[in-house]
Amino acid sequence: MVMKANIPMRYLLAIPALCAVLLASGCVSMRPSQAKQWFRGNTHAHTIRSDGDSAPEVVAKWYHDHNYNFLVITDHNKFVDPREIKLPDEKRDDFLLIPGEEITGSKAIHTTAMNITNVASWKFDHTERSEIIQYHVDQAMAAGGQAVLNHPNFKYAASAEDILPVRHLSMFELFNGHPSVHNHGDSKHPSTEAMWDHLLTEGMKIFAVSSDDTHHLKTIAANKANPGRGWVMVHAASLDPDAITRAMLQGDFYASNGVFLKTCERGPRTYLIEVDAQKTRGELTSLPALRGKPVENGSEGFRIEFIGPAGKVLDTIKGEEGRFQIDGSIPYVRAKATFTRAHPDTGTLEEYYAWGQPVFTDASVATKALPGNSDRSGPLAGRSVSLLSH
């Protein structure tokens, strides 16, 4: 016997709209079989095909052997086809190369074109730096990929004011492992982290990437651009170029220059961070040439900060786990996990970080957009993304 439910037509008509709202908010998954996993990767590396000191095969092998899951080789104005690169005979199934290029343009403005199908043009100049960045973004997309604005403090090439008018730019390098890029700014220029908060406070939806900008494998030293200094942990449905790129565009990742997280949960009203202390300490021990940001004062251990508009610290928790209840009146909240240690060789205090991506609240919709920047809301307008434990 089949029972028929007597459901009023007005409720049936409302179901598609309700499903659309739930999907847009990231609250539910209509495909439970698509369980997401965490994948470690580097989005910026050079080889002898531009100004690196090692062959593509050697660079790829380093990341493979150090348990990364993906690598984007980004030689200057060169498209490196992963199919041309011989990977180790014992290659793991969970490692791949994503095609890329570093668009190296005028005025020291560089942009990673990630997951492209052909070389992206770089031959453009303009008096306005924002127009150069816009050109790079457009060319990356025209080549089938997406853009990451690289090291804005390299030669202090791009300010927040240069970045704000740019359309379709969803990612930039908050941390870059090259020793000459001035991540922390100077007395006249803000750090890239302060720049990020300025962009977010002004209403731009942009996510932060950490990368190596690898150039040197033959000599390991503080003044060389070595591998292992910056990476992203991406929460994706599968390990393939499109899934990784899509997840990053949605903010489904965290950036790190030394700290691993066990949990990074971003919900519409709660942000939860838990540090993987054992894995963090193990990573720093395995790469003794790593150096964190020198600090004069502090105590060894972990702390977690939740940060809002204008870079204001909303809460600080000393320890390996922190939870923050999000007030809907705050346009965004992001998280930062810090590990402070005395370096085993020098004894000086230094800090390493993991940066969680911002949660955008309803209040962010009301943020004033700049003229002409019609897509300032970016890929996450009106939704929150939850990153689960790994």
The residue ranges of the chain whose pLDDT is under 70 are 1-34, 364-390
Counting residues of the chain whose pLDDT is more than 90, the rounded percentage is 77
For 18, what's the count of Cα atoms within 13 Å in the CB-facing half-sphere? Answer: 6
Distance, CA of 91 to chain centre: 26
Query: What is the C-alpha to C-alpha distance for residues 359 and 314, in angstroms, rounded to an integer?
Result: 14
What's the confidence (pLDDT) of residue 34? 58
Give the model's pLDDT for residue 345. Answer: 85
CATH of domain 35-380: 3.20.20.140
Q: Residue holding tokens 């651009």?
A: 225
pLDDT value at residue 218: 95
Task: Show the DSSP H helices in 218-305 as ranges.
Answer: 241-249, 277-286
CB atoms within 10 A of CB 268: 18
pLDDT of amino acid 365 = 53
The pLDDT value given to residue 44: 98
Beta-carbon contacts of residue 4 (< 8 Å; ≥ 6 apart): none
Three-class SS state of 179: coil
CA-wise closest residue to 41 among 73, 66, 65, 68: 68
Cβ-in-10-Å burial (0-12, 13-18, 19+) of 206 comes to: buried
**pLDDT value at position 35?**
80
CA distance 381 to 364: 9
